[in-house]
Structure 1
Amino acid sequence: MAPLLLGLLGLLGLWVLLRAHARARAPCPVPRWPPGPRPLPLIGNLHLLRVSQQERSLMELSEQYGPVFTVHLGGQKTVVLTGYEAVREALVGTGQELADRPPIPIFQLIQGGRGIFFSSGPRWKAARQLAVRTLHGLGAGRGPGADQVLRELRCLLGQLDQYGGRPFPLALLGWAPSNVTFTLLFGQRFDYRDPVFVSLLGLIDDVMVLLGTPGLQLFNIYPRLGALLQLHRPVLRKIDEVRAILRALLEARPPGGGPVHSYVDALRQQGQGTDPDGLFSEANVVACVLDMVMAGTETTSATLQWAALLMGRHPSVQDRVQEELDRVLGPGRPPRPEDQRALPYTNAVLHEVQRFITLLPHVPRCTAGTTRLGGYLLPKGTPVVPLLSSVLLDKTQWETPGQFNPGHFLDAEGHFVKREAFLPFSAGRRVCLGESLARTELFLLFAGLLQSFRLQPPPGLGPAGLRTVPAPAFTMRPPAQVLCAVPRPQGTDRGGLA
């Protein structure tokens, strides 16, 4: 009996070895790429993409090649997804398969694969989980977080009061959301005249503009040529200045171990605990703070500026918002997060602002393994661009996609309607981790601003004279210009914001 059993075990072992050998020799699946324009030597399809409106060029190509197509950015094959159906299927339906970022050269130089937004794998998962957990614990978008936004609203309204209805720079509106972000990150707000606050905002502005320049786009496509031409140097110098300020703020915080009052506190405590893989080393802590500072200030600040600009451009829409605010909130009562349901038109306007401006048209992903997408088979490491602007402007989802129309979010009775194709914060595992905070923050600041002031063009300029073509930058930020904030008698009670 024993020899028979040994023989059977031997045959089983031999079968396992043969199976393993066959799998090792089995050819990898042959990729099946989506269609796309024929590439030219060296430049690929770059001649088909307008530098300042790349997302529009990609949307035009999708009309010829379909919602899933391939473009060659220099020598790099990239798959582009356009329209609600294709983008949502990829972001929500593929799970982990599109959770990674491709190694974008300039962000590899800046962050070295660290941080939150351009990292992948275990480091990204750990950093994101900590950020989500900390923001929730700090009440971001709820209770304490909303109170902080309202206190910042009071400071913003005070700044506008000083202009007495005279023209003010549109960028001033970005101070309040930036300070909300800094309070969450560092546990303190800054006076608007504080040199650190002024320096940080100026440097962030410089970095965002530099990241959107043609030179940096060229560097990302041809990194060796870009390095030879030193195209990356200006932005790296600015980033070094930002890091110096962030390190000083980190060192100013008391040692960890006590209650968590800020994101920085949470990061430092995590780094001082059990961290065998070094996921929260000092370099990664600084990288995470850098990501949160850049993203947390730019996106909400630019959106609030766009909202004010579009109110000056569309006075009839502003009339309806202010009529609703006066009717629902009454004279002087500041808005609260729970008021959103009772203010459907105001809520619809804010959603339409975000849809219409398409602030961040796309941020690339890459396949974590061989991935089936839209009927095609993509090899591991393929860059994939889910074009969010194509979703927010999808003709099959929006009645008038190219027009500013709050009716997109209202039914026939004037009730607010959620739209599945409203994806300015992306979707799936890489959805914006500050979405809840951003929604609450924008609503409170926008409603409080329009309660207190009538926004209009400067003297001698009509609404149509306000410029709405985005300025060149990493995001689709509004062009620099001035507005007038004329005080309204129904303004917010500043004492109620204390």
Structure 2
Amino acid sequence: MAEIQLSLSVLLPILLLLYFLKLLWSRRHYPPGPLAFPIIGGLWRIAFEKEIDGMTPIKAAKQYGNVFTLWLGHFPVVFLCGFDAVKEGLVDHSEGFLDRGLTPFFQKLSEGKGVGFASGHAWKKQRRLGQMALAKLGVGKRIMEDKIEDEAQQLVEIFASQKGKPFDPILFITNSVSNVTFSLMYGYRWPVEDPNFEKLIKSNEYLSNFGLTIFYALYELFPSIMDRLPGPHKKAMEMTEMLLSLSKEEIRKHKEQEPTQEPRDFIDYYLREMEKEKNKNDPTSTVDEENLMHSIHDIYFGGLGNSSSIIQFAIIILANRPDVQDKIFKEIEDVVGSSNICYDDHKRLPYTHAVIHEIQRYRFPAIIGIPRQTTRDVHMRGYIIPKGTIIVPNLLSVLLDDEYWETPHKFNPNHFLDKDGNFVARKEFLGFSTGPRSCLGENMARMELFIFLTRLLRVFHFQPPPGVKKLIEEPVKNATLPPHPYKVCAIPRNS
């Protein structure tokens, strides 16, 4: 018996060592990264971080290179960091990196449907349909600008009602930005006190916070086990189901309405396309209610997360810099005068346009871009990235790339101005991603940021509350990097 125990004590470590060496050999063609152990992969590297935040993958890139592999258990995730690597991946290898990378958790939530998480033929169909619907409904045109101006004006009136006293602007901003999308998707706006709006905000906040928790990591590593266990991951799934059910109810209401000659909103447009697909009797069609529900969800959260967070940060950043506010106000007064500001005025307001871009660069609202997946074996920088590998483009690292930005970690509008004060479009500014899967609502988001901020800055001077020297500019450490809760004083300029 003692001899058997001795043999096992010698043999077991040898077998484990051989297994470990086999893993290393099978992974030799992947880009370098943290040493991957059985079961946990390379997650030990993240565990040593004091805090997981937007700089975590950027720090890893400094150590392993701008294309590196992090093994999550038994499956690899290849990170692309910095402008050159991200552009090479998303543009030069766009077809190879075209599919959506669905980890077990995101597969569970999205089922691979919608404009954000579908792949292959299904994604191309949803993307094309989404583009046609947004164009038909006036995105990028005067009709959409009018809707944004209406919401911006309502936000101005809400701020004015505070009479210069300290108040929390976050919920009001979120509601106004949300209503631009609600009117586009559903055909009407939700007041801030609507219970469905409250559910939506709380769900979005919970899902954003869940992304950097241990339960999220455990689900990605052991999905079949976690599906059988209670925990925050179950609540995250319930939140997603609740959000999808709101869209499902709106679809039901639209189907009961009398048809109009022209589509009133995105749901109307999509339902008409569904009828056309039914008449074709195409069994492979992906134009259905499930994809419609998920597309509404994807478009809404894609737009809300970016525009709302950027406007919230803009007020913080500008309240800390009265000189920048005053320079914007003077430029608007000198160029536009008493006339209404329209989106085309961004061409005549170079400093204002530069500040808006710099706010988005300086406080980009996400740690990483939504993962991709290789459609075939991709040869990149001497490595072989096999078909089916998850690819994570780190857009934050692009906007903080010290090879291209003079002061990457400081707010500096001169990043977007030449020596004569003219606006300079930067190829390194990937605020809306790039390549075939770039942001579907980019035109609407650009219009929102410009109109909301110029309307607010024309009417108000923002400053910290009495007794507060400076508002916190560092984001909350979760997946979407929102600002910390804050209060601000909106002082009417005409006073």
- Bin the TM-score by the shorter chain: 0.7 to 0.9
Tell me how far apart the structure 2 counterparts of residues 398 and 188 of structure 1 sit (CA, whole Å): 41
Task: Name the stretch that deviates more: 309-318 or 91-100.
Answer: 309-318
Paired residue secondary structure (1:96) = coil
| 1:30 to partner: Cα distance | 10
Tell me how far apart the structure 2 counterparts of residues 443 and 185 of structure 1 sit (CA, whole Å): 21
8 Å CA contact retained: 1:55, 1:387 = no
1:274-322 alpha-carbon deviations (Å, 9 max, x no partner): 2522412222221111222222222211111111111112222222112
Tell me how far apart the structure 1 counterparts of residues 380 and 393 of structure 2 sit (CA, whole Å): 12
8 Å CA contact retained: 2:54, 2:366 = no
Q: Residue 36 of structure 1 aligns with which residue?
A: 33
Q: Between the two proteins, what is the percent identity of the paired residues?
A: 34
Tell me how far apart the structure 1 counterparts of residues 126 and 432 of structure 2 sit (CA, whole Å): 19
Q: Residue 466 of structure 2 aligns with which residue?
A: 459
8 Å CA contact retained: 1:345, 1:416 = yes
Amino acid at match of 2:361: R
1:252-273 alpha-carbon deviations (Å, 9 max, x no partner): 2225573112111111112222
8 Å CA contact retained: 1:83, 1:390 = yes
Q: Call closer, same or farther: CA 1:199–1:237 in 2, change over 3 Å.
A: same
Q: Residue 182 of structure 1 aligns with which residue?
A: 182
8 Å CA contact retained: 2:359, 2:411 = yes
Q: Report 1:437-456 matches (<5 A).
A: 437-456=444-463
8 Å CA contact retained: 1:305, 1:478 = yes
Q: Report 1:294-443 matches (<5 A).
A: 294-331=301-338, 333-362=339-368, 363-443=370-450
Paired residue secondary structure (1:274) = helix
Which of 267, 271, 281 in structure 2 is aligned with 1:268? 271
Q: Report 1:193-342 matches (<5 A).
A: 193-231=193-231, 232-253=233-254, 254=257, 258-275=261-278, 276=282, 277-331=284-338, 333-342=339-348
1:386-414 alpha-carbon deviations (Å, 9 max, x no partner): 11111111111000001111110011111
Q: Residue 109 of structure 1 aligns with which residue?
A: 108
Amino acid at match of 1:368: T
1:344-376 alpha-carbon deviations (Å, 9 max, x no partner): 111111101111112123221110011112222
User: For structure 1, which runs of at least 5 residues remain unmatched after alignment?
Assistant: 1-28, 491-498
Tell me how far apart the structure 2 counterparts of residues 478 and 402 of structure 1 sit (CA, whole Å): 16
| 1:55 to partner: Cα distance | 4.3
Q: Call closer, same or farther: CA 1:226–1:405 in 2, change over 3 Å.
A: farther
| 1:212 to partner: Cα distance | 4.4
| 1:31 to partner: Cα distance | 7.6
1:476 matched to 2:473? The reply is no
Amino acid at match of 1:270: E
8 Å CA contact retained: 2:42, 2:73 = yes
| 1:226 to partner: Cα distance | 3.2
Tell me how far apart the structure 2 counterparts of residues 224 and 52 of structure 1 sit (CA, whole Å): 28
Task: Name the stretch that deviates more: 137-146 or 272-281.
Answer: 272-281
8 Å CA contact retained: 1:102, 1:365 = yes
**How many pairs were matched up?**
459
Paired residue secondary structure (1:272) = helix
Amino acid at match of 2:268: D
Tell me how far apart the structure 1 counterparts of residues 262 and 207 of structure 2 sit (CA, whole Å): 33
Paired residue secondary structure (1:113) = coil
8 Å CA contact retained: 1:344, 1:416 = yes
Q: Call closer, same or farther: CA 1:319–1:103 in 2, change over 3 Å.
A: same
Question: What's the TM-score once normalised by structure 1's chain length?
Answer: 0.87
| 1:62 to partner: Cα distance | 1.9
Q: Residue 88 of structure 2 aligns with which residue?
A: 89
Tell me how far apart the structure 1 counterparts of residues 268 and 343 of structure 2 sit (CA, whole Å): 27
Q: Residue 9 of structure 2 aligns with which residue?
A: none
Amino acid at match of 2:41: G
Paired residue secondary structure (1:40) = coil
Q: Call closer, same or farther: CA 1:489–1:261 in 2, change over 3 Å.
A: same
1:407-450 alpha-carbon deviations (Å, 9 max, x no partner): 10011111111111000111001100101110011100011011
Q: Call closer, same or farther: CA 1:81–1:282 in 2, change over 3 Å.
A: same
| 1:240 to partner: Cα distance | 2.3
Q: Call closer, same or farther: CA 1:80–1:116 in 2, change over 3 Å.
A: same
Tell me how far apart the structure 1 counterparts of residues 209 and 60 of structure 2 sit (CA, whole Å): 27
Question: What's the TM-score once normalised by structure 2's chain length?
Answer: 0.88
Paired residue secondary structure (2:277) = coil
| 1:134 to partner: Cα distance | 1.0
1:45 matched to 2:42? The reply is yes
Tell me how far apart the structure 2 counterparts of residues 59 and 227 of structure 1 sit (CA, whole Å): 32
| 1:52 to partner: Cα distance | 4.8
- RMSD between aligned residues: 2.1
Tell me how far apart the structure 2 counterparts of residues 66 and 266 of structure 1 sit (CA, whole Å): 46
| 1:128 to partner: Cα distance | 0.9
Amino acid at match of 2:99: D
Task: Name the stretch that deviates more: 95-104 or 432-441.
Answer: 95-104
Tell me how far apart the structure 2 counterparts of residues 436 and 84 of structure 1 sit (CA, whole Å): 22
Tell me how far apart the structure 1 counterparts of residues 218 and 461 of structure 2 sit (CA, whole Å): 43
Q: Residue 9 of structure 1 aligns with which residue?
A: none
Q: Call closer, same or farther: CA 1:105–1:164 in 2, change over 3 Å.
A: same
8 Å CA contact retained: 1:174, 1:304 = no
| 1:198 to partner: Cα distance | 3.6
Tell me how far apart the structure 2 counterparts of residues 76 and 425 of structure 1 sit (CA, whole Å): 28
User: For structure 2, which runs of at least 5 residues remain unmatched after alignment?
Assistant: 1-25
| 1:228 to partner: Cα distance | 4.2
8 Å CA contact retained: 1:360, 1:424 = no
Q: Call closer, same or farther: CA 1:425–1:217 in 2, change over 3 Å.
A: farther
Tell me how far apart the structure 1 counterparts of residues 182 and 317 of structure 2 sit (CA, whole Å): 27
| 1:80 to partner: Cα distance | 1.5
Paired residue secondary structure (2:151) = helix
